[in-house]
Amino acid sequence: MNTTGKPLIGQTLDELKQLVAAYGLPTFTAKQIADWIYRKRVLHIADMTNLSARARELLSQQWCVGVAEPVERRQSKDGTVKYLFEAGEGGGHYIESVYIPDGDRATLCISSQIGCQMGCTFCATGRQGYKGNLTTAEILNQVQSIEQSDSLTNIVFMGMGEPLNNADAVLKAIAIMTADYGYGWSPKRITLSTVGITPQLARALDESQCQIAVSIHAPNAALRAQLVPAEKAYPMHDTLELLRRHDFSHQRRLSFEYTLFDGVNDRKEDALELAHNLQGLDCHINLIPFHAIPDAGLRPSPRAAMEAFQEVLNQKRFPTTIRRSRGQDIEAACGLLSKIKQTQL
């Protein structure tokens, strides 16, 4: 695998056009390169056989395809696979992606940052701090380098990091995933999950058509500020106002993620308050079982409480799903991702 030089993966068609122009190569070479990277998935510039020998030679002086394999792979007994990638300039940092097969769906949960700045109290990633943003190349590499890449049906930005704190790279990655010259995916297959960085969310709603999942986790601002500190800078009230102004009727799905904690946010009155606050929004609610992490001072909600919570929301006409936990035995479940390289443990 050649990863010497600047990565071509992560370049938009326009950027590739500028690049080939700088080398004095014909404009159509840009489309050919995009085709080799995103469609034919070659690993070396030398394999781009319809490019002239001169073009390959010139490009190879400074560029590489830039697809790098995961450095570690762990498989759960339920079929979930967690991948570890080296990331960040100079290496030495790690990020994780989780492959989740489920019947005819095959979802890849990808990371957008090395660590996270949001500091949600229930999340192992939040505990490890923030080491930097991923580049568009590092985001797409997670999708393109794993062995199940060709059979993926869905991508969710629910791994390490807050995607909208790295909006430039994430929105560019989504643009490449959905472009004809890129993966050519329907935006319906991609979900961007956010705590609600309001200005960047407005931008994501404008610039992409992907599905939006908002991590709400609490029925009111006071409790949310304790669980999701970002509430103080980006109040959910503002996020909901923004979402209310957006038209979600054109097949774009809006969902809310709500992790349930025993005795904290899982009472029926919490469900009623949540339903009240989400009134008028055409949305789906995902209830997420909490996977305990040390010293969080939070316990998972009992199954009966989760079902009672779901029942209240269903009665209020909110389609609500209790998520199944996947990959718990390999720390791949929601909130458990945290840079683990097994050889370092």
Positions in the binding site for ligand SF4 (CB under 6 A): 116, 118-120, 123, 125-126, 160-162, 195, 335
- Distance of alpha carbon 321 from alpha carbon 168, whole angstroms: 31
Rounded CA gap, 134 and 85, in Å?
Answer: 11
Candidates 47, 39, 50, 55; CA nearest to 2 is 47
Return the DSSP state at 300.
B
Q: Output the smallest distance, CB 71 to ligand SF4, in A.
A: 21
Classify burial at 154, counting beta carbons within 10 Å of its beta carbon; exposed 0-12, middle 13-18, buried 19 or more.
middle
Spatial CA neighbour of 15 closest among 176, 192, 152, 125: 176
96 catalytic? Reply is yes
Cβ of residue 55: shortest distance to ligand SF4, in angstroms?
41
- Shortest Cβ 200–ligand SF4 spacing (Å): 13
Q: How far is the CB of 193 from ligand SF4 (least distance, A)?
A: 8
- How many residues comprise the chain? 345
CA distances in angstroms from 89 to 23, 117, 150, 323, listed in the order given: 26, 19, 28, 35
Count CB atoms within 10 A of the CB of residue 240.
19
For residue 100, the minimal CB distance to ligand SF4 (Å) is 17
Q: Which two tokens stand for residue 22?
A: 């700088």
**Minimal CB distance residue for ligand SF4:** 126
User: Are 115 and 162 a contacting pair, CB within 8 Å?
Assistant: no
Residue 54 has a CB neighbour count (10 Å cut-off) of 11
**Residue 90 or 294: which CB sits closer to ligand SF4?**
294
Give which of 117, 115, 107, 147 is closest to 134, Cα–Cα: 115
Residue 334 catalytic? yes
Query: Residue with structure tokens 């809006």?
Result: 254
Q: Of 64, 109, 283, 334, which is the active-site residue?
A: 334
Q: Which is nearer to ligand SF4, 67 or 110 (CB)?
A: 110
Q: Indicate the DSSP class of residue 180.
A: T
Tell me how far apart the alpha carbons of residues 77 and 87 are, in angstroms, rounded to a whole number.
Answer: 27
> Of residues 96, 138, 162, 331, which has the active-site annotation?
96
Query: Which one, 168 or 307, has the nearer CB to ligand SF4?
Result: 168
The SS3 call for residue 37 is helix
Supply the minimum distance, in Å, between the C-beta of residue 126 and ligand SF4.
3
Nearer to ligand SF4, 160 or 340 (CB): 160
Distance (Å, whole) CA 280 – CA 251: 17
- Taking the complex as a whole, how short is the minimal distance between the CB of residue 171 and ligand SF4, in angstroms? 17
Q: Residue 116 or residue 173: which is nearer to ligand SF4 going by CB? A: 116
Fill in the amino acid letter for 6: K
Using the minimum distance from each CB to ligand SF4, give the nearer residue, 162 or 270.
162
If the CB atoms of residues 17 and 339 are measured against ligand SF4, the closer one turns out to be 339
Active site residues: 96, 334
